[in-house]
Amino acid sequence: MGYSGLVVVARTGDTRLDDLACIEDLLVVARGELRVGGWRIGFLGQNDDTSPGRLAADLALETAAPAIAMWVVDSDCAFAVAEHPSGERVEFYLNEEIVKELAGDDFEPLNSEAVAGLIRWAGGGDRDRLAAALEESPGPFGDGIYAFAEALGIGPLPPA
Amino acid sequence: MNPLLRRFVDLLEDGLAPDGFVRRGPVYRHLDADGNGIVLDIQRTTAMYGEVEFFVNAGVLLGPYVRYFLDDEDPRLDVMPRHGVWEHRLVAEDGDHRFSLADEAGADRAAEVVLTWTRANLPRLKGWLGDYDAMLAAVAEDGERARQARAEQLASGEWKAGRWPDGTWREKVIRLYRDAERGDVGAVSALIGTGKAVDPDSVHAAALAYAEQRRTERKG
């Protein structure tokens, strides 16, 4: 059984994710792994008090920076929302093929426009790596999420 | 957060703060300088949308035992009650272990249940922190109470609430770290047993390493 729950990517600098009001309000503990540029990636677990769209908007508003919130299903796929403080929003999946299988007739394709939107959202990034990352599953240890973030330029901190 | 849960969380936070508890997410912690501590955590259930159901777990932590699981930089240190040496699930007002909030009065009553239990038990729990002998004495007392309760139940054929001691102990872990704290490598080895190799990732190996560290410190 894989990971199911919320994952966020937010630019908070020295501030822990759960020191943000919108994360604290979810009653979770999440320091968030610090990445280059003050980005943090945090796994919040299962929570029915919010949604990826609402959380991404809350994060962008509170941090005044772009933010992503995604709902991961059993480490296999994710529905994600990237919110920009300007109000531009990009909805996409990680591993759209699996989402298509799971959703059946309710499936709504999102990824055809996602790469361009996410490059705009991030103000840069590696188009080919991003397209490849969107096709991967989040993975049991979040490897797919980290690869996705790195394609947007949100890489790990260099060794101290 | 659901407003009823927020009310409960805030009431608990305000009520526990005078006793030195600090909240991080669903966990309220009272820690001493060595990382020994008392913890209460709110564990949400898999209730459906709109339902507010949770357990409240109490625990006593042994600093070195916690550090076996998580290093000092591990963010999961904030949610470490699962790695205590004494654990107890509180009982809600209706006798169930699951707290369920339907209105503000219910949230207030639930907070009062938890605060009343905590205030009543805090002196006992604080007495255990860093005091291995006190914990082992409590293990023995609880064991005796459990034996008596079992005998009474068998004799009477009926369940009598309140006769059984609260909580579950991990006695061997306490003994391991008590001997390790003293730098008594021989006693730790004897507890582990000599007939098998020590798994390097096990609590046995961690306790042995701690015993050797303490022995070196004591000699120094």
DSSP string of B42-54? Answer: EEE--PPTT-EEE
Q: Is residue A157 part of a domain?
A: no
Q: Are A71 and A50 in contact (CB under 8 A)?
A: no
Distance separating alpha carbons of residues A72 and A34, to the nearest angstrom: 20
Model pLDDT, residue B73:
67
Q: Tokens in use for B56?
A: 């409240």
Residue of B nearest to A42 (CA): B75
Q: What is the mean pLDDT of residues A5-15?
A: 96
Among B9, B49, B76, select the one facing A48 at the smallest CB separation: B49
pTM of the prediction?
A: 0.85
Task: Answer with the residue of higher pLDDT: B166 or A78.
Answer: A78
Model pLDDT, residue B171:
96
Residue A33 has pLDDT above 70, yes or no: yes
Domain count of the fold of chain A:
1
CB pair distance less than 8 Å for A48 and B75: no
- Widest CA span of chain B, in angstroms? 60
Distance separating alpha carbons of residues B25 and B31, to the nearest angstrom: 16
Q: Which domain holds residue A129?
A: 5-151
Task: Tell which of A15, A26, A29, A58 to mutate to test the B interface (max B CBs under 10 Å).
Answer: A29
Q: Is residue A159 part of a domain?
A: no
CB pair distance less than 8 Å for B79 and A29: yes
CB pair distance less than 8 Å for B1 and A31: no
Tell me, what's the ipTM? 0.80
- Find chain A residues with C-beta within 8 A of B46's C-beta: 46
Q: What is the mean pLDDT of residues B20-34?
A: 91
Q: Is residue A160 part of a domain?
A: no
Model pLDDT, residue B78:
66
Instruction: Tell me which long-range contacts B108-114 makes (C-beta under 8 A, separation of at least 24).
Output: B108/B7, B108/B11, B110/B8, B111/B7, B111/B8, B111/B11, B111/B12, B111/B15, B114/B12, B114/B40, B114/B56, B114/B90
Q: Is residue A69 part of a domain?
A: yes
The mean predicted confidence, pLDDT, of chain A is: 94
CB-based burial of residue B217 (10 Å sphere; 0-12 exposed, 13-18 middle, 19+ buried)? exposed
Q: Give SS3 for B16.
A: helix
Length reported for chain B: 220
- In angstroms, the separation between the Cα of residue A65 and the nearest Cα of chain B is 23
- In angstroms, the separation between the Cα of residue A123 and the nearest Cα of chain B is 30
Q: Are B170 and B205 in contact (CB under 8 A)?
A: no
Residue B169 has pLDDT above 80, yes or no: yes
Residue of B nearest to A26 (CA): B1
Chain A contacts to B (CB-CB under 8 A):
18, 24-32, 46, 48-49
Distance separating alpha carbons of residues A159 and A39, to the nearest angstrom: 16
Model pLDDT, residue B50:
65
Q: How far is CA B81 from CA B26, B28, B30, in A?
A: 11, 10, 11
Structure confidence by residue, pLDDT tens digits, B71-105: 766 666 666 666 789 999 999 988 889 999 999 99
Residue A136 has pLDDT above 90, yes or no: yes
Name the residue type at position A104: G
